[in-house]
């Protein structure tokens, strides 16, 4: 079996910052879904054929909290996936996997959107939960990930559709959460899109707890497809990445100390993530859990609009992993 590789390709922002070539100023302009398509075509032009591209759906409240920016609205993930399916045509035969935050509307009200996806030949959906235990001001949580998965599994909308959820290995109770989502999805198969790693020890330990939890509940862990996040740390200020993990600092920070050039940081990201991948695959084999990877550039374009070098680093990591484990 070939190594399963996904590439994260979030929907573009509806407004993007671009540098004006004539005045060297950065301005906020109207975005386009074609911006994300250009990144995908860059991967394809490099000869990369991943299992799929997945399209994250970050909670707008969480995004503005992390970025401190009000212009953080992205295009709808389902709309974006349908756009790509039409635009790419026969150029790409892998999966397009849109994520959808499922907590702000009733589970039954979400079935029609998933049916529409299936009608476009998009057979995967990842249901995303709440970023905060209590809803932000003036909002209400109307569903849980489990109730949405249950409704999709019980309805014809899920026929031929693989259901997925987010996995955050750093949460102490994550094995129980995943087991509950697995049961809600029918107890047969669940796609997991994992949080990216900034060190491998905690993930290896977590995988053992996950396997033990499944065994204690009589569940078959071979029904999990766990895609481990591997991120490119391109920015000099890595506090941004730490905030994504809800940590004060990255555990891998010493590896990047003194690396002043962006390409040095990207090269180290490739080496580090290759090490993480080796350990994750070995732990998966030991515990009977199917491990794949979600490679996450986290940045796709420069302020000029050109493809960011982090995308090329993602391509390099994918090639190395395929050569060693494909």
Measured CA distances, 17 to 71, 143, 260 (Å): 9, 34, 24
Query: pLDDT by residue (tens digit) across 261-279?
Result: 999 999 999 999 999 999 9
Query: pLDDT by residue (tens digit) across 302-313?
Result: 988 999 999 999
What is the structure's pLDDT at 25? 79
Query: pLDDT by residue (tens digit) across 150-205?
Result: 999 988 655 668 999 999 999 999 999 999 999 999 999 999 999 999 999 999 99
What is the structure's pLDDT at 145? 97
Q: SS3 of 154, please?
A: helix
Percent of the chain with pLDDT over 70: 93
Q: Which residue has the tokens 């591997």?
A: 230
What CATH fold (topology level) applies to the domain 5-325?
Answer: TIM Barrel (3.20.20)
Sign of CA dihedral 158, 145, 106, 79: negative
Measured CA distances, 137 to 130, 132, 134, 267 (Å): 14, 11, 9, 42
Helix (H) or strand (E) holding 207: helix 201-216
Q: 67-86 burial, b if ≥16 CB within 10 A, otherwise e?
A: eeeeebebbbbbebbbbbee
Query: pLDDT by residue (tens digit) across 98-147?
Result: 999 999 999 999 999 998 898 899 999 999 998 777 887 888 999 999 99
The pTM assigned to this predicted structure is 0.93
By mean pLDDT, which of 20-24, 32-36, 260-264, 295-299 is the weakest? 20-24
Q: Are 165 and 137 in contact (CB under 8 A)?
A: no
């Amino acid at each position: 079996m070939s190594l399963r590789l996904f590439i994260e390709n979030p929907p573009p922002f509806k407004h993007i910052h671009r540098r004006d070539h004539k005045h060297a100023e950065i301005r906020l302009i109207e975005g386009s879904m074609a911006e994300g398509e250009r990144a995908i075509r860059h991967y394809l032009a490099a000869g990369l054929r991943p299992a799929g591209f997945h399209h994250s759906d970050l909670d707008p409240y969480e995004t503005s909290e992390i970025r401190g920016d009000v212009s953080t609205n992205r295009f709808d993930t389902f709309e974006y996936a349908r756009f790509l399916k039409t635009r790419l045509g026969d150029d790409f035969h892998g999966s397009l996997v849109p994520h959808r935050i499922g907590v702000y509307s009733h589970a039954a009200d979400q079935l029609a959107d998933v049916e529409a996806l299936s009608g476009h030949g998009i057979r995967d959906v990842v249901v995303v939960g709440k970023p905060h235990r209590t809803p932000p001001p003036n909002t209400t949580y109307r569903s849980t990930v489990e109730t949405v998965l249950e409704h999709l599994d019980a309805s014809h909308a899920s026929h031929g559709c693989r259901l997925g959820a987010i996995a955050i290995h750093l949460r102490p109770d994550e094995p129980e959460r995943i087991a509950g989502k697995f049961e809600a999805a029918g107890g047969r198969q669940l796609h997991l899109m994992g949080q990216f790693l900034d060190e491998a020890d905690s993930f290896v330990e977590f995988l053992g707890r996950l396997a033990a939890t499944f065994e204690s509940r009589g569940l078959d862990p071979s029904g999990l497809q766990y895609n481990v996040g591997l991120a490119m740390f391109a920015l000099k200020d890595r506090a941004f990445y730490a905030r994504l993990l809800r940590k004060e600092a990255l555990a891998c920070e010493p590896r990047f100390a003194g690396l002043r050039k962006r390409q040095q940081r990207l090269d180290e990201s490739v080496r580090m993530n290759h090490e993480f991948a080796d350990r994750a695959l070995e732990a998966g084999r030991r515990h009977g859990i199917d491990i794949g990877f979600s490679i996450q550039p986290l940045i796709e374009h420069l302020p000029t609009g050109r493809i960011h070098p982090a995308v090329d680093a993602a391509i390099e990591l994918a090639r190395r992993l395929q050569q060693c484990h494909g």
